[in-house]
Structure 1
């Protein structure tokens, strides 16, 4: 396997996401409806790393480079940080675009190599991965991943990389209580030594307990369009069950959907913007949901009839 084993908190592996950090287009204000103070984000980074959260995820399209730049300032060359970032390809393959994006990401991040680098969408998989091959061979990309993919896409990537004496390191897809159709892919990845990362495990806050039909997302935000008031009404029963489980264990409600994802064999990517969120996550990871609780949450989520899908997702 490619190097992907730097320390993470407790025995449960998670990755910290930074989509909400950057102020640029496709960043904090447009997607989440709010901006975050750089000093608060620095404090968040410092608190999280002190708690043992050393795996960090970002992407070139998050804030159109602003998230990478900010994270690079915080990392400042630290060698204990496991860094994951991504290239979002155009529909039509353009020779050299993958390599150019990688180099620009490394410049913004102030790094020479990426522990994990992603093809952010399954477009021209073989052609784009052909540019990853020399970068992997010279050590600039330590592990390669593909995101927003089907089982067929995974096998295409595996076959191409194997021909070049390399291995697919990771898959990253949308997976949550409200997007629970990934188990076959999760099981396949785990059987093949491919790490499966789940993003939007809290559905951008819809499952976190701070929002509901009366107090929903900021009006002028993409997450409000993706999860309007009518959907919050459909998940009232699920939120109530999540709250009851959280109260039982003495943890924040936002942590229950994360523990559910871990129970399915996936590695959750969790966006945090305040030090207290890192503290809540650290406390929750000491716990494991009972099988009965996992089953009840799954059944209650299914009753909502909701299957969340991002506008960028191919399926």
Structure 2
């Protein structure tokens, strides 16, 4: 089914309407050595909103705050119709132990900074960005609920956390009448499907919409990598990588497995007369539980290419080819629970439909 940016989806267990592709704004600003200058970032914002896009993803520390500041500037005059999502918990000031982490002091200070950067009275969606294993969940949840009650935040969410902690948080929030989590941001793509073991089933069961980041696998699924890019062990450390391509190789993202997946993506792109990036994004858009993958672009051409994924209609057989080449081992206990043996000892030869 062909989509458009104004074919809105509900975000998790909420009534919030968001575009089927979110625009990531970590590319707004060049402080990290790459990204878009202000003029180009403005073009990206204008083109996305012109087509009906309303869902923006940023964080308090993206491009040292430039991402939020540019987004706030661009959103002026049409703030109410936009859904601005930002995050807290990453270190904002070197040497200050309380300027990062998931605790209340970090949370409140980060939110106040984000409100100033965004030039807004409220944040539509606030994510806990990175789980730190140090703060009691009750402190996090009560802090988030206080922000909602104060009107500074409308909805709360979580990113990059263990499934058991997220489900525990959601249960506590439900039992205590605190603001529930409505979204889960995770890395998810054809080359990174391990979230299907626990995170995505948990999100679907607990009412969180999945918002995938890096749906193009760091660019591996765009077709720009080949066997020549396979990185010999120890040839380069991540911190000495000279560019994004070298860094991806150093991080182990360029392997025989990921290149084999990219090959099938390219084959389907040829069949469908589209680009590999569009095929990879279309697969993610079709994945169960996914609300809105985050796309990132530095140029209008990249943005237009990514948005073209909304027009790609993958057939069941094409989806099956992608699923097969990118399949992961389910692991314990999921592999056993999905086996014919367990099905037989539990249900015999009866046919029982599930609700999902």
| Alignment TM-score > 0.5, same fold | yes
Q: 2:142 aligns with which of 124, 130, 133?
A: 130
**Alignment check: 8 A CA contact 2:44 2:300 kept:** yes
Matching of residue 164 in structure 1 with residue 177 in structure 2: yes
How big is each residue's C-alpha offset from its partner over 1:232-254, in whole Å with a ceiling of 9 and x where there is no partner?
35233322211121122222211
**Any residues of structure 2 matched to 1:22-41 within 5 Å, and which?**
22-24=29-31, 27=32, 29=33, 34-41=34-41
* Aligned-partner Cα distance in 2 for 1:62–1:84: 12
* Aligned-partner Cα distance in 2 for 1:151–1:237: 29
* Aligned-partner Cα distance in 2 for 1:230–1:132: 36
Number of equivalences = 291
* Aligned-partner Cα distance in 1 for 2:311–2:305: 11
**Alignment check: 8 A CA contact 1:19 1:62 kept:** yes
TM-score of the two chains, using structure 1 as the length reference: 0.83
In 2 relative to 1, CA 122–215 (structure 1 residues): closer, same or farther, beyond 3 Å? closer
SS across alignment from 1:142? strand
Q: Which moved more, 1:229-238 or 1:291-300?
A: 229-238
Report what 1:87 is aligned to: 88
**Any residues of structure 2 matched to 1:45-194 within 5 Å, and which?**
45-78=45-78, 79-88=80-89, 94-123=103-132, 124=135, 125-162=137-174, 163-183=176-196, 184-194=198-208
CA shift for structure 1 position 155? 1.4
* Aligned-partner Cα distance in 1 for 2:225–2:283: 19
How big is each residue's C-alpha offset from its partner over 1:145-197, in whole Å with a ceiling of 9 and x where there is no partner?
01102221111211232213421111111111111111243233234331111
**Any residues of structure 2 matched to 1:12-31 within 5 Å, and which?**
13-24=20-31, 27=32, 29=33
* Aligned-partner Cα distance in 1 for 2:219–2:110: 30
In 2 relative to 1, CA 273–167 (structure 1 residues): closer, same or farther, beyond 3 Å? same
* Aligned-partner Cα distance in 1 for 2:162–2:112: 27
CA shift for structure 1 position 214? 4.7
CA shift for structure 1 position 50? 1.0
How big is each residue's C-alpha offset from its partner over 1:69-109, in whole Å with a ceiling of 9 and x where there is no partner?
12112112422111100002567665422011011011101
**Alignment check: 8 A CA contact 1:23 1:35 kept:** yes
SS across alignment from 1:121? coil
CA shift for structure 1 position 216? 9.2
**Any residues of structure 2 matched to 1:237-252 within 5 Å, and which?**
237-252=260-275
Cα-Cα RMSD: 2.6
Structure 2 gap segments, 5+ residues each: 1-12, 91-97, 232-239, 329-356
TM-score of the two chains, using structure 2 as the length reference: 0.74
* Aligned-partner Cα distance in 1 for 2:299–2:81: 21
Whichever of the two has the greater Rg, that structure is 2
* Aligned-partner Cα distance in 1 for 2:319–2:40: 34
How big is each residue's C-alpha offset from its partner over 1:104-127, in whole Å with a ceiling of 9 and x where there is no partner?
011101111111100111232332
* Aligned-partner Cα distance in 2 for 1:222–1:276: 19
In 2 relative to 1, CA 116–39 (structure 1 residues): closer, same or farther, beyond 3 Å? same
